[in-house]
Amino acid sequence: MLIIQDVLVSDEVVEEQFLCNLNACKGACCWEGDYGAPLSDEELNILQNIYPDVAPFLTEEGRKTIKKQGVYTFYEDAEDFGTPLVDGGACVYMTRDDKGIAQCGIEQAYRAGAIDFQSRFLVIYIL
């Protein structure tokens, strides 16, 4: 893993040609990897404040994990805060649409008008 401007980046990004194709990967970056999405200090407080409004957009497993671990966690190996993972897999904020493509529950809450914070780790839609 590389750290570029406080963002964890897989070595494969440097070694392989990369193109985000949600139709092919279904948002695998939301459930594969060793860490959740990295968070800035500002985002830690924001997540605390918006969680009650975001919770209805999350899976039951995500909410249960957040209840146990909190809305964010500290990753010792990465020496950084990030989103918690459900059983070491999917990000707690991940949901899926009717096509099985990963969605960010924070982004869904934003689009629904439940919060005014737009996540920087939302799923990017590629045509």
At 36-63, the pLDDT tens digits run 888 888 889 999 999 999 999 999 999 9
Q: What is the DSSP letter of 53?
A: H
CA distance 127 to 125: 7
Position 26 pLDDT exceeds 60: no
Tens-place pLDDT, residues 54-110: 999 999 999 999 999 999 999 998 888 989 999 988 899 988 888 877 888 988 999
Q: What does the alpha-carbon distance between residue 104 and residue 93 come to, in Å, rounded to a whole number? A: 6
Give the span between the Cα atoms of 83 and 73, in whole angstroms.
6
SS3 126: coil
Q: Rounded to 5 degrees, what angle do the CA atoms 29, 126, 78 make?
A: 25
- Strand-pair partners of 4: 7
